[in-house]
Chain A
């Protein structure tokens, strides 16, 4: 996972600047991780929230939603991993907006550092934070009946895909954070788009239970593809589960990877160009 992303950082920097880019990104990542440790509230609440979601859906919806040929908790986990990881990018939005409002961005911009380092350092640090919440959720899941039925390699591939998906979404969060006027706006702007995106998907319910006009949207939603990929890779798909005939549902892993790369290909240059122009206050 980290190899993929470092390669991306190097590609943007091009040539001799690559070493600078990596060093600058590390310095900023370190700063952000230190901040996270100094204000552990956000980490703690992030963990509580994700654990709580697993428990709520497992025990509240678990009884009502019938997954033919499988158990709801196994169906749920792939989806809730994708959903939680997607939601974690709202933190990035707020953190980015907060940085922008303080004077620190002016300091960074006046330094001879790589222009993408502030964003890359932010997204790397938040990826580390996301990994902690994923571990907490996995443990919770195991405690309430989630089991994997696949090889270790497939499970690792599943978490690697989840990391790529998380990283792509963190960049969207960072771009939104660079675009809003204040951290207060970021609170809302960072969250609001995530609700339809994660709910109009196969995360919590099978797509076929939705009205027919909504089904294609849900099927082409990358969140659905990631959730389905995780279920496949963790061996959690109920026997005879019909994901749908659409391309993303037929090839969920390939589609997920392609969608994440596309998001990164758009969000990284957009974020860096916004960073260049961003003027604190």
Chain B
């Protein structure tokens, strides 16, 4: 196992490197400039060249790339052009916290409720509970989360005044966005758990356990749920990454200064350093989470041996 992890970490660095390189060159091909083109058009070519030079944008792309990699290795992510002069590292650190908190809460809430719903639905297959869970699941994915967010904001925030309408002011500000985001998670997890559980409940060892006299709860917790977790873990991986790295729409609706909107804005304004910084952060996060997920597989199901390919 340890050798496997070590190998994976090597691959991790390699993957990150490839992602960084690919993104860098793709990004340089984005149409437009990092500046305000309308104002720039009023300057002479020499003046424009000087502005470019002051940001190091006049050098050939390869040179810029090498410089950039050199800087990263030393921990310097560069400065933003759009948020003029701000250190990219500082910007990212500032904006991660809101997204992370909201995302984490959404995942926890979504996973727990999703698990419960899914187990219930499978256990009481084709009963009222089953249909209810399925309806919740379907609605959870079919209704776009921005509609849900807007409804939550309007009713719970404005009309009934229970929670803040928007902005990032106290812990309460994170509740509504988390709920809005969690619904999709609940839907997906409930679905997958139900499907897996239905299969698992058919298995021989469940029948055996029942025959041996094991109680319902024990069967469920010791055997059924654990064996249903594989798809949950698989699905959780990308979900975790998506949610923790910010949902642009939810952030905009609740006025949360998170990292999702930072990313989209930086792409739309050609803010090269920020694009790269956030990409590296996202990708690093993603590959680490994927590694954790794969390790989790083998923990949860001892039959899955990672790294072995005896065929």
Q: Do A and B come from one complex?
A: no
Give the interface of A toward B (CB within 8 A). none
Give the interface of B toward A (CB within 8 A). none
